[in-house]
Structure 1
Amino acid sequence: MQINSFETRLPAPDCVKSYGSTDDFRAVFIRAPAVLAAGPEVEILAEYTLTPEEAVVHGREKVIVAVRKGVLMATAFHPELTTDLRWHQAFVDMVRKHSQQPDKVPPSLFQNLGRIPNRPPDLPVYGKEFMRAEQM
């Protein structure tokens, strides 16, 4: 299943909330696939509630948009397109925790990223109303 490009705010999972800021996050989806099912060993980190129209078409109310298993993490959205670094911090800490060489990733890696003077602002992402018919 694939859903159209859009952005929304979703509740942040505990692994992201632990880095502060807000209890939700900006999720930017660019024609993103969704996870339809996850095994018992897979931790579901985030879900997206479909619109009533999407729910009818796809026969479900929610889709999974972020998962984690061991040292693997997958998201259907693009955290790199926002200035919120919490998903990146959670990923690096997850890798550090599972790494045989935890010193390879210094704890200060993300400490000053928010202060980089040339960091671009969040990229604009537009909803369906801005897409041409051939893109939909």
Structure 2
Amino acid sequence: MTLQASENEEFSEANNLLFTQDHLGNITKPISLNYRFVKSGTAESGFEDDIKLKYKPAKSVENRGVEVTLFSGDRNRWMPDFNGSKGNPLLTVFLQRDIHEMNRLTDGLWRHFQKRIKLALENNAKIKTVN
């Protein structure tokens, strides 16, 4: 799907590729995708858990929905449904989680981290074709 310049002119090519491309357009029936999340490192104990995306396709993007289950048990975090989503909601989920983890671990301001990621995508992203 090609977006008109007026719809995406304020976003960089990297942002458009990640968030406004119709990544879900080829899903034509309800489907669940399961992702495995692995946290490792030396600052804290690691863990493994699941992230589940339940796609509810529709004839129009505006009616399309994705239900997100972020982790299980005590780690479960409520996530709103992604309605009218074009990009893969998992990208947004991971970026939001990373921003809040940086905030938690550094006592920094989450808006600062969000802005730095946004600026990096706007100004420093390198786009390459991969096979």
> What is the TM-score of this pair, normalised by structure 1?
0.28
Q: Which has the higher contact order (CA 8 A, sep 6+)?
A: 1
Structure showing the higher helix proportion among its residues:
2
TM-score normalised over the length of structure 2: 0.28
